[in-house]
Chain A
Amino acid sequence: MRALARRLLVLVVVVFFVSLFTSLLIDLTPGDPAASVAGFASEEQIAVIRHDLGLDQNVFVRFGNWTKDFASGDFGNYYSVTGSRPVWDQLKPALPVSMFMMVYAMIITLVIAIPLGVLSAYKAGSVLDRVINALAFGAISLPNFAFGLILIYWVGVKGRWLPVGGYVSPSENLGEHFRSLALPSISLAAGQVASYMRLLRSDMIQTLQEDFILMAKAKGMSARRILWMHALKPSSLTLLTVAGLNIGALIGGAVVLEIVFTLPGMGRLIVEAISAKQYVALQSSVALIAFFYVGVNLIVDVFYQIVDPRVRNG
């Protein structure tokens, strides 16, 4: 319980600093939000707008105000002269799009990477192992947006098997929902599959040298049982850690792929917020992602304890 409380505290601290640095970074960028909101207006009008939006205040004061709002669940408003546009109205539909995409990518990654990693470790040095590894190298080297474009061309445009853009929510039509996210999730997963597979392979090769594997063999357990019941669990600790840390890469990839596949997700929201200098929206979105990142790593820690009993009492 105390460990959990400590982790929650860490979560708050991380989100605080991520937001603070985002805030300072934004302050360094050139350009004036008030001017871009105002459009063709005189200096005086812009000054008035700047004052109305609180943009004439010190960066720390603005950060303080934003923090107060964010902590109370208010994600702020878009800068606007024509009335209030709450950021949450945009975030609310965008959040599930990105989440679903990342979760699906993660599932695809694990479902493919784990069996491949186990197989290539078991057959280490064989032709099969080398073929798998060569393919993995290829997949790691290819950026996911490039892979996405290849998929769009062959699967979407040439084959017409899957949609290449747009999003359908699961409550609308579950089948179409999966179809709409299939290509982006696969593109996002491709590079991850390769790195996870190689990671698991090397850990697994090490585990297979262990005495307890020989012991299991001497007990007459089948090779399949030894691989899945004895070797996989102790080999998956690094995988788990990296999976948690890799959420960052996953988010980064998702942001790019949302643009490629024209999905109305967080990535597009953030890119739009940056180009329109909508800093409050940007800040809230980034803080939300930081929450997600730390949250996932918290879950990974819990998994760690499930996988390795030695961690539980530590």
Chain B
Amino acid sequence: MRSKKTTRDFGTDSYAGPLLEVNDVATHFKTPRGLVRAVDGVSFTLERGKTLGIVGESGCGKSVLSKSIMGLLPPRNVVRSGSIRYNGEEIGSAKASEMAGIWGTEMSMVFQDPMTALNPVMKVGKQITESLRYHLDVSKSFANETATELLRSVGIPEPARRVSQYPFEFSGGMRQRVMLAVALACGPKILFADEPTTALDVTIQAQILDLLDEQQRERFMAMILVTHDLGVVAGRADEIAVMYAGKIVEKAPTRALFSSMRHPYTEALFKSIPKLALPSHSHLESIPGRPPDLVDPPAGCRFAARCPYAQPICTEVEPPLIQQDELAHVAACHFPVGTEAGNEALARNKAAGVVAADSKVGG
């Protein structure tokens, strides 16, 4: 067993700035069809111990964003740009060998599908202890005790017996708990949770989210919670960023976002959450159309084609992210929801029988 080989020391807490500063990060994939702009200019900061929720529908670039920040994407055919500062250190262009000192110990990730993200032929205990042994150079017995303790803390009954079992001997929810234990083993300061509950049974989802919450608070760990479900981040994130077609279209403290959402896409996402109060068999609200092609994104606002507020300017000029009523609340829209301009635009469209910008083109 080789001992820890860190190229840089990221463990210093003397840096007073934010834990993570992401500035104008773009991630493009080279494909035969052209450059896919999966993430196209995203900026945010994350403070120690806080949670950022990243919300958006499939293909909006939210998973790519978190993998890109961690530097987990394969180097081939991927173009990354922008600045990512972790604890004040630039890691946006770090090579895999340099990132190895960050992975596991500073940043860690919980994946979507617990059925495939654990090694099927390795005992779960070993999957926890190997990173302990590798990074922290602790003794075998200490690592084993820590693994048992970790399994206990993520709510696995009889952890001492379970450490020597294989993933297939666990249920889906239990596996997600195991994965969390694996990710937490070396005490990371940021946890990326990429759709951590999507593959799970609804009854288990809340348990896992509560567990994430609890572990985060105990460890004073920052978290980036990626999900397609506004309901998941509602009570749990300090701040929410809504992504659409590779860009952040709205970002606000959670309460501000829910009380006064400004972007029509956020509103549409919110409306598509099923409500218990509604009678059964009532139709779910859905967003018409499909997200734009990221090889050749449309001019102007990328949501315009599906937006009930869209006006001619929306397909011509791209709206910048500008501050709304509250300091930390930004949205990128020419006719923000709930404002005078927005209400007027919506009323005008309704009067003309237009549902979205592209319905005018299509007739």
Contact = CB atoms under 8 A, between A and B. Distances in A.
Interface of A: 210-212, 214-223, 225, 229-230, 233-234, 307-310
A287 B130 CA distance: 48
Nearest to A224: B2
Contact of A219 (B116, B120, B131, B168): B131
Contacts of A223: 96
B240 to A, nearest CB: 24
**B contact patch SS:** loop
A220 B131 contact: yes
A217 B122 contact: no
B230 interface: no
Given A233-B121, A234-B121, A309-B121, A215 B102 contact: no
Contacts of B119: 212, 215-216, 230, 234
Contacts of A308: 120-121
B182 A219 contact: yes
Query: Closest 3 interchain pairs by CB?
Result: A220-B104, A220-B103, A211-B117
Interface stretch (B23-31, B105-113, B142-150, B155-163): B105-113
B79 interface: no
A113 to B, nearest CB: 20
Nearest to B118: A212
Interface string B80-108: 00000000000000001000111111011
A121 to B, nearest CB: 14
A215 B134 contact: no
A218 B168 contact: no
Contacts of B70: 218
Contacts of B135: 220
Given A221-B131, A225-B134, A211 B116 contact: yes
A218 B116 contact: no
Nearest to A310: B168
Contacts of A215: 109, 111, 117-119, 179, 182
Nearest to B4: A220
B65 to A, nearest CB: 15
Interface string B26-45: 00000000000000000000
Most buried by B among A229, A230, A234, A309: A309
A220 B101 contact: yes
A193 to B, nearest CB: 25
A215 B117 CA distance: 6
B270 interface: no
Nearest to A234: B121
Contacts of A210: 116
Given A225-B134, A310-B166, A219 B104 contact: yes
A164 to B, nearest CB: 44
20 contacts: A212-B117, A212-B118, A215-B117, A215-B119, A215-B182, A217-B72, A217-B103, A218-B70, A218-B72, A219-B183, A220-B100, A220-B105, A225-B134, A229-B122, A230-B122, A234-B121, A308-B121, A309-B120, A309-B166, A309-B168
Interface of B: 70, 72, 96, 100-105, 107-109, 111, 113, 116-122, 130-131, 134-135, 166, 168, 179, 182-183, 185-186
A229 B130 contact: yes
B103 A219 contact: yes
Nearest to A230: B119
Nearest to A218: B109
B118 A219 contact: no
A307 B118 contact: no
A221 B118 contact: no
A218 B108 contact: yes
Q: Is the interface of A mostly helix, strand, loop or mixed?
A: helix
B121 A211 contact: no
A211 B111 contact: yes
B291 to A, nearest CB: 24
B199 to A, nearest CB: 11
Q: Which residue, B102, B104, B118, has most C-beta atoms of chain A within 10 A?
A: B104
Nearest to A225: B134
B103 A310 contact: no
Contacts of A216: 119
A221 B134 contact: yes
A309 B131 CA distance: 22
Nearest to A236: B121
Contacts of B118: 212, 215
A42 to B, nearest CB: 71
Contacts of B116: 210-212
B38 to A, nearest CB: 16
Contacts of B183: 218-219
Nearest to A212: B119
A310 B109 CA distance: 26
Nearest to B185: A219
B120 A310 contact: yes
Of B102, B121, B168, most buried by chain A (CB within 10 Å of CB) is B121
Contacts of A309: 120-121, 166, 168
Nearest to A308: B121
A137 B89 CA distance: 48
Nearest to B117: A211
A225 B130 CA distance: 10
B26 to A, nearest CB: 21
A211 B113 contact: yes
A215 B186 CA distance: 14
Contacts of B100: 220, 222
A308 B122 CA distance: 9
